Structure 1
Amino acid sequence: MSKARRRLGALAGALAALLVTGGITATATATATATATATQAAQGCRVDYAVPAQWQGGFTASVRVTNLGDPISGWNLGWVFPSGQRVTQSWNATVTSSGDRVTAVHASYNPSIPTGATVSFGFNGSWAGTNTAPTAFTLNGVTCTGDVEPQPGDAMAAVAAMQPGWNLGNTLDAIPDETSWGNPLTTRALLHHVRSQGYRSVRLPITWSNHHGPAPDYAIDPVWLDRVREVVDWSLAEGLSVVVNLHHDSWQWISNYPGDRANVLARYRALWTRIATAFRDHPSGLVFESVNEPQFTGTSGAEEDDRLLHELNTEFHRIVRGSGGGNATRLLVLPTVHTSADQARLDALLATYQELRDTNIAATVHFYGFWPFSVNIAGFTRFNAEVEQDLVGTFDRVHNTFVSRGIPVVIGEWALLNYDHNRPGVIERGEFLKFIEAVGHHARTRGLTTMIWDAGQFLDRAGLRWRDQGLHDAIKSGWTTRSGTASADRVHLPGSGAIPAKSLTLNPNGTTFRGLRHGGTELVRGTDYTVSGTTLTLTPTALTRLAGNRAHGVNATVEARFSQGVPWPIDIITSDPPTQAAATGTTTSFAIPTRFNGDQLATMEAEYDDGSPAGPANWTPFKEFWQHFQPDYAAGTLILKPEFFAEVDDGRVTLTFHFWSGARITYRITKDGGAVTGGTG
């Protein structure tokens, strides 16, 4: 990042000071937050401003300045009073004013502030009307933010400062326009909310192909460029680092590079030249990524793919660095082919890095989990050891290839492929929570910066609220610590008859189990539950109470609390075995009448009479949830999709539906051309 530039930061809101009467004292505090880099040294600071005493027309203020950067010899702190206050007397610093602008300079005995040290001073002041605390401070001209912005060349620190990150997905990358894929126009309020939720960077996927003119100039539509600049500037002003890239251009036209080299390269050069020029004077918090998920058609294989991407990455580097200004030292992000973490792809990108000999470059890959688990196919409904090992192997490879050599890594996108609030049940919530916990732990311990892919499935952008607060809490907790989990997040009870004890296996993940809570009530160990080793058992007495009237569905939720991290939710569910009825339909419209009786579908198998897999993905009997079959709980049906029947031979197929209670139903269908019949017999 450029030494001469600083990134604007989010400023914490001030608490208005309250009038003190009758001997009552009120205190107001405000802490400023942003990032800055001075010309000669990395600087960062935190200011704690407090009003321990206030009376009619006057007040006493206490100011503590903590140096988070390099040691300082000689300091001055500046701020602006928001309500016209004036300083009347000071101690431990010389305070002068010019209107509302105030400067406090060190005394002869406290000019030095070592790294991590704090200096304090105070003053008396006057006020009229209100006494609102200042919210922005500068130390030696550098904005105080609670962070330190790394110097140019310190790419590891720059990428670490971007953790955690958030993707503004399906927005500026939507085709043809920003709202075409269902998301609203981006607002500064949205970006402010993202920053307030703890995110420190935002990736702006941008598709440029519909917003520039023809060859040979490929001039970018000025309206579009202004819109991109607006969102970039809003993000920077909110204290977010910003990543800008070429996004769906990768498969729209860059993929044609092998067979249309001259035209693709000319277009690529023109776009990056114009983008680099437009943003050359932007702060170092703006980061460029050469291309999203690069891919090529018609090549001889992986070796040629790597060579072609090397050409594009080095050309991108040449253009941006040659454009001067802040781009001379701007952090650049280079992907592997397909942003894959396969070792051969990582090695190819490492070779590019070593050739460029530029230490202000980061590598990027994407991570959407073990594919069968991420889409719920082949029976991978649970976050098991195989799924976690895929995660560990991926993160180990990128750490060992890059981070261990001092090259930072950005996991530019992560989530599970088919997790979506519009497709409930594809990924069971508890299994997703385990995945989230593991991603947070394994990325953090390997020094990887993660940027969650959010196309609207996590944050409701219209309401500025998380669609599932519990998922967000788990993601946020994973930035700093581990959380305990359990073998399941649901306990199924019968709708009638005696209620038995139910056991789960605890996975403390290095934490200590503390107890169970229902709402605001602590459950009693020994009476409501027992713990033996890692086995948690809920007693019949407690389950009977929690089940209430035993209506089908979730009757209560208890939380397993651990010594750190977020609690583990356990739904107490009443369910009876689901039932199904005969049905007739067609290959384009077939639904099985189903009484779910409080249960939920986990997966479906399909086999011919000879035992071979039926339907798509004929290497497994377990089909892909939602793509090939879909429960409709409200309508009381299980839908078989046209995509399923498109690859089913005429004749009989046996379906086995697996439910989360452990129940299974066998159902047989017969396909005859476009006609389908089914029944339980």
Structure 2
Amino acid sequence: MTGLRDKMQVIRRRGVALATAFVSVAATVGLAAVTPAAAAPGCRVDYTVPSQWSGGFTANVAVTNTGDRVSGWRLTWTWPAGQQVTQAWNATVTSSGSQVTAVDAGYNAVIEPNSTVAFGFNGSWTGANTAPQSFALNGVTCTGGPGTPPTTTTTTSGGPAPGDAMAQVAEMQPGWNLGNTLDSTGGDETSWGNPRITEALLDNVKAQGFKSIRIPVTWGQHQGPAPGYAIETAYLNRVKEVVGWALADGFHVMINIHHDSWQWINTMPSDRAGVLARYNAIWTQLAAAFRDSPAKLVFESVNEPQFTGSSGDAQNAQLLHELNASFRDIVRRSGGNNTNRLLVLPTLHTSSEQARLDELASSLNTFKDPNIAATVHYYGYWPFSVNVAGGTHFDATAQKDLTDSFDRVYNTFIARGVPVILGEYGLLGFDRHTGTIQQGEKLKFFEQFGHYARAKKITTMLWDNGQHFGRTSFQWSDPELIAQIKSSWTTRSGTASTDQVFSAKASAISAKTITLNLNGTTFNSLRQGTTELVRGTDYTVQGDRLTLTAAALTRLSGSRNYGTNAVLTAHFSQGVPWRINIVTYDPPVLQNATGTTSSFAIPTAFRGDLLATMEAKYADGSNAGPHNWTSYKEFDRTFAPNYTTGVTTLTSDFFAEVNDNRPVTLTFHYWSGTKVTYVVTRSGSAVTGTTA
């Protein structure tokens, strides 16, 4: 992606993915589940090791219940070769010597008949990493189901054969971007606000289950003058140091030329020879510096290529072809491991539009190089991704944008044997804060994204400029988000039409119905904490319709203070639970205000409600403010709620495109469905606001 600041100007920072050898160990063992009065208990455990590196490995454990209902589970096993668990997810895992115990995480305590729960962990090993030979569930040794003897199968692979690009890219799933660091344009890796990269950061990223890391690098400010364009020795050594750490951690690593794309490469239409000379100088030096690095190091020619002042699509395609061809030739001629190293080539703007995909496909046909992957980026349907033009929901239009994009990528490349790396993904509102897109709608996007990318065999790399995984805290800023992302790597999750159930305080409480998006799962239970609500009394489920009864909502709402009174979780046969907030509200109340175009805030008593979007129109019905092709303005760019201080701010960006002395009627849309109107009038730099 381009830019840390604005996707519209697209200036982003990306990285390098690197491929290392891995060992895959799979063991399938029968497992008997214990329930208080089980007539025929039974279950199956699938234990797999999808990734292994020197001294470490990642394991996935899936427990399928083939017997009676299990409520609360405890899985135990013995390490045959002294392995240790270092970090786990979706379960609490402890060990004493070679004995290991995994206990449910609360939300996945129940295993219905014919359902599966899964958890994973990272571990350490020395000497050998032999799979456990038996498991026990709730104290009973696994038998694979009633009367079935335990079986164990183990397969070992050294990873894909050299030159197997499709297999190598598959091994890189999932990936993570070390954004806004070595790609920063301020001259230092800390100039965009992130700390210096440490080995501990990379170790902790690895512990999250990521298999590849993209290290975006901007080179221009660290280059000398023509004709040599020498890269500063200290800077190149720093990049080599970080790449070395990542390789040592077992990552596939991808490095690139990043923000140079819009800083100087974009001038290629008017300075073809100069840009090519400088670009070629960078890759000549990088090819030499990393010539003997292992095959897990991957080169990406350029991030989000773009050209200024070209004659149109045909010239853009030709210029990008020249860059990609020159990059490929330089790397291949440099010898060593570069002869067969995986090279990653982007479309123009890393777009998934069909014309852009076809242009890259044409280039690949001329190269006839089997060790090449294509790359695109995906930040969602733009109105939804930034919350503009009424794009508040991950609706059918936003979903179709995603599936159409991935279908085009699959049909153009993957179906024809060319692997694809989705080098960046996310939602553009993340560059500001994660509140721009409503939480439930955001989670639905990532659930569908992960599922469909997996279905289309696309390797994905999360864009993280520091807003997701803390660079020193090593904690996720949004645990729900990363839980959904991780779950989507292996399975689907159930969601719903909303994660908010509103009841007006001024009215009597009535039953409320939401639609479940089962996504191939089955609904199991509804809980408040660890307490299960009673089906038929507290709620009913008919097909995909979940109805909360008036009696249950009355109990859950308690004294009916404004805001969230209770939190429920819907549990499905697989994936992560779906959170449902029970909210009491009344229509928000706005007050008159005065201010300036640079500082204007509307006093707002939100009264438990939450702002979804805002419309702006002149008295004649025409649209006011930025993006005047739509009445719905961009969340956070033009308006923003502050629930703590009780104000709704209108920004200078909004007033910059509002006409003087023409009253603008604002319509605030809230998530409860409430609409409130307000009128603002600009006169020079002065602004007055009145309730409608």
Q: TM-score range by the shorter chain?
A: 0.7 to 0.9
- Report what 1:543 is aligned to: 553
- The within-5 A match list for 1:9-158 is 34=52, 62=80, 135-137=126-128, 148-158=158-168
Counterpart among 420, 426, 435 of residue 415 in structure 1: 426
1:504 aligned to 2:504?
Answer: no
**Shift, 1:252, TM fit:** 0.5
* Counterpart code for 2:518: P
1:676 aligned to 2:687?
Answer: yes
CA distance in 2, matches of 1:191, 1:608: 52
Counterpart among 517, 525, 538 of residue 515 in structure 1: 525
- The within-5 A match list for 1:433-448 is 433-448=443-458
Counterpart among 308, 317, 325 of residue 314 in structure 1: 325
The alpha-carbon distance between structure 1 residues 644 and 457, as it changes in their structure 2 partners (threshold 3 A), is same
Counterpart among 592, 597, 609 of residue 599 in structure 1: 609
Counterpart among 396, 403, 416 of residue 385 in structure 1: 396
**Shift, 1:35, TM fit:** 5.4
The alpha-carbon distance between structure 1 residues 593 and 30, as it changes in their structure 2 partners (threshold 3 A), is closer
- The within-5 A match list for 1:336-355 is 336-355=347-366
1:220 aligned to 2:223?
Answer: no
Counterpart among 376, 394, 398 of residue 405 in structure 2: 394
- Report what 1:7 is aligned to: 20
Counterpart among 479, 498, 515 of residue 469 in structure 1: 479
**Shift, 1:604, TM fit:** 0.2
**Shift, 1:146, TM fit:** 7.0
Structure 1 range deviating more: 403-412 or 530-539: 530-539
How big is each residue's C-alpha offset from its partner over 1:49-91, in whole Å with a ceiling of 9 and x where there is no partner?
Answer: xxxxxxxxxxx995699xxxxxxxxxxxxxxxxx9xxxxxxxx
- Report what 2:211 is aligned to: 200
Is the 8 Å Cα contact of residues 6 and 35 (structure 1) preserved in structure 2? no
1:432 aligned to 2:442?
Answer: yes
CA distance in 1, matches of 2:172, 2:363: 23
Is the 8 Å Cα contact of residues 557 and 583 (structure 2) preserved in structure 1? yes
CA distance in 1, matches of 2:129, 2:573: 39
The alpha-carbon distance between structure 1 residues 64 and 677, as it changes in their structure 2 partners (threshold 3 A), is closer
- Report what 2:584 is aligned to: 574
**Shift, 1:145, TM fit:** 11
CA distance in 2, matches of 1:392, 1:164: 19
**Shift, 1:518, TM fit:** 0.9
* Counterpart code for 2:671: W
**Shift, 1:147, TM fit:** 6.1
Counterpart among 652, 657, 661 of residue 647 in structure 1: 657
CA distance in 2, matches of 1:412, 1:424: 21
**Shift, 1:138, TM fit:** 9.2
CA distance in 1, matches of 2:603, 2:128: 65
* Counterpart code for 2:159: E
- Report what 1:293 is aligned to: 304
CA distance in 2, matches of 1:61, 1:442: 36
Counterpart among 232, 247, 250 of residue 258 in structure 2: 247
The alpha-carbon distance between structure 1 residues 375 and 10, as it changes in their structure 2 partners (threshold 3 A), is farther
Structure 1 range deviating more: 185-194 or 546-555: 546-555
- The within-5 A match list for 1:478-497 is 478-497=488-507
**Shift, 1:9, TM fit:** 6.7
Is the 8 Å Cα contact of residues 214 and 255 (structure 2) preserved in structure 1? yes
CA distance in 2, matches of 1:437, 1:404: 24
- Report what 2:141 is aligned to: none
CA distance in 1, matches of 2:642, 2:664: 21
1:561 aligned to 2:552?
Answer: no
- Report what 1:334 is aligned to: 345
Partner secondary structure for residue 598 of structure 1 = coil
1:364 aligned to 2:375?
Answer: yes
* Counterpart code for 2:163: G
Scaled by the length of structure 2, the TM-score of the pair is 0.79
Scaled by the length of structure 1, the TM-score of the pair is 0.80
For structure 2, list consecutive stretches of 5 or more residues without a partner in the other structure.
1-17, 26-46, 62-77, 84-96, 98-122, 131-153
Partner secondary structure for residue 323 of structure 2 = helix
CA distance in 2, matches of 1:628, 1:314: 43
* Counterpart code for 1:613: N
Structure 1 range deviating more: 495-504 or 267-276: 495-504
Partner secondary structure for residue 203 of structure 2 = helix
Counterpart among 305, 319, 327 of residue 316 in structure 2: 305
Partner secondary structure for residue 451 of structure 2 = helix
How big is each residue's C-alpha offset from its partner over 1:603-638, in whole Å with a ceiling of 9 and x where there is no partner?
Answer: 000000010101111110000011111111112111
The alpha-carbon distance between structure 1 residues 342 and 154, as it changes in their structure 2 partners (threshold 3 A), is same
In our comparison, the structure showing a higher alpha carbon Rg is 1
- Report what 2:290 is aligned to: 279
**Shift, 1:196, TM fit:** 1.1
Partner secondary structure for residue 294 of structure 2 = coil
CA distance in 1, matches of 2:249, 2:566: 40
The alpha-carbon distance between structure 1 residues 424 and 495, as it changes in their structure 2 partners (threshold 3 A), is farther
For structure 1, list consecutive stretches of 5 or more residues without a partner in the other structure.
13-28, 37-43, 49-59, 66-82, 84-131
Is the 8 Å Cα contact of residues 663 and 680 (structure 2) preserved in structure 1? yes
How big is each residue's C-alpha offset from its partner over 1:571-623, in whole Å with a ceiling of 9 and x where there is no partner?
Answer: 11121110000011111111111111111110000000010101111110000
CA distance in 1, matches of 2:48, 2:382: 47
- Report what 2:31 is aligned to: none
Partner secondary structure for residue 262 of structure 1 = helix
CA distance in 1, matches of 2:129, 2:574: 36
The alpha-carbon distance between structure 1 residues 377 and 152, as it changes in their structure 2 partners (threshold 3 A), is same
Is the 8 Å Cα contact of residues 567 and 580 (structure 2) preserved in structure 1? yes
Is the 8 Å Cα contact of residues 554 and 572 (structure 1) preserved in structure 2? yes
RMSD of aligned residue pairs (Cα, Å) = 2.8
* Counterpart code for 2:52: A
Structure 1 range deviating more: 669-678 or 200-209: 669-678
Is the 8 Å Cα contact of residues 269 and 316 (structure 1) preserved in structure 2? yes
